[in-house]
């Protein structure tokens, strides 16, 4: 086991994927010599060459469109969108081409493209650098959506995303980039399916009173809330995959606790939490003892960094929601 930050864990996962498969290429703005804004790809161009780690022009639509052509020729491109708010110029390519090409070709051509997107706030960034656009992509049929929450899950899931023959939108919680954790680098993507299925949710903290479903940057926040909760036992579920969502694990947890709080950083209306609340309301109607409650960002553009702590869900808001559902 090695103690790594999430940045280093993703870097190690990318390295292992590139060592295993010469068809894996990295493509993005400043990812080569610079190693990316957050240094996630640091050292990879030096070790694998400029023909496999390519610096792209500042044109997200061109980056995604080029990846479509590479995938059609049998490559496995891994793209980096420099910041969450920069993905929109490439949005049309993603939802109109990447998500639909496999179906359009009647399965004859796969789209094994991984699109890495640092997302979320909490780093004191300027406008367009702290957004949470995951619901757009989870809503789009043909795309898979993954988001790790700690270094170990990041190391595993980035490899699994790359080996997947479906296109994967891979959201990296930039606020957790510098969190450290133990990572088992001996695990290979060839046996990862037996170790951890990226499309299954993880119960990261068992509990008996309230299920707290969360993902990405909010997993640590919810674990901290569970650690200090008094007289309430919180079960924390890390969803990992936002498309498809593992409802089997989530339903089983809610059937044990009879209560659900969904936590995410994105705005409340139309978010992933709304879909989860509707599905659990259908599947657990007779088990629920309280309405499904959501804790989320507010329905406003992401605020200036000096007041972002008022926008982001925190430990107190999670605990308040848990206490409210316990009062029913």
Residues annotated as catalytic (active site), given as ranges = 129
Tokens 């997107």 appear where? 117
Q: How many CB atoms lie within 10 A of CB 288?
A: 19
Q: Strand, helix or coil at 208?
A: coil
Please provide residue 319's backbone torsions phi and psi, each rounded to the nearest 5 degrees.
Answer: -65, -40
Give the Cα separation of 203 and 188 in Å (integer).
23
Specify burial of residue 106 (Cβ count, 10 A radius: 0-12, 13-18, 19+): exposed
The packing angle between helices 247-257 and 272-283, to 10°, is 60
Element (H, E) at 136: helix 134-138
Cα diameter, the chain: 60
3-class secondary-structure state, position 211: strand
Q: Is 129 helix (H, G, I), strand (E, B) or coil?
A: coil
């Amino acid at each position: 086991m090695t103690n790594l930050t999430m940045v280093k864990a993703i870097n190690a996962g990318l390295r292992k994927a590139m060592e295993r498969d010469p068809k894996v290429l990295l493509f993005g703005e400043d990812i080569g010599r610079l190693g990316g804004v957050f240094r996630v790809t640091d050292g990879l161009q030096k070790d694998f060459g400029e023909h496999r780690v390519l610096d792209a022009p500042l044109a997200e639509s061109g980056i995604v469109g080029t990846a479509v052509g590479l995938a059609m020729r049998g490559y496995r491109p891994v793209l980096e969108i420099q910041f969450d708010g920069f993905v929109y110029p490439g949005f049309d390519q993603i939802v109109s081409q990447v998500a639909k090409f496999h179906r359009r070709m009647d399965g004859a051509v796969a789209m094994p493209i991984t699109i890495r997107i640092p997302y979320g706030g909490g780093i004191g960034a300027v406008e367009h650098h702290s957004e949470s656009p995951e619901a757009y992509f989870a809503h789009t049929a043909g795309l898979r959506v993954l988001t790790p929450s700690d270094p170990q899950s990041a190391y595993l899931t980035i490899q699994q995303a790359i080996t997947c023959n479906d296109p994967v939108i891979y959201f990296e919680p930039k606020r957790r980039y510098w969190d450290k954790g133990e990572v088992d680098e001996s695990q290979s993507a060839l046996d990862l399916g037996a170790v951890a299925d990226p499309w299954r949710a993880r119960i990261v903290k068992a509990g008996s009173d309230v299920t707290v479903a969360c993902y990405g940057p909010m997993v640590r926040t919810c674990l901290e809330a569970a650690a200090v909760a008094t007289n309430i036992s919180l079960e924390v579920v890390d969803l990992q995959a936002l498309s498809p969502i593992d409802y089997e694990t989530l339903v089983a947890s809610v059937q044990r606790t009879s209560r659900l709080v969904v936590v995410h950083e994105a705005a409340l209306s139309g978010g992933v939490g709304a879909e989860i609340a509707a599905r659990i309301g259908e599947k657990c109607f007779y088990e629920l003892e309280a309405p499904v409650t959501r804790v989320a960002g507010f329905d406003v553009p992401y605020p200036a960094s000096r007041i972002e702590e008022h926008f982001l869900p925190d430990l107190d808001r999670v605990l308040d929601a848990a206490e409210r559902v316990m009062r029913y």
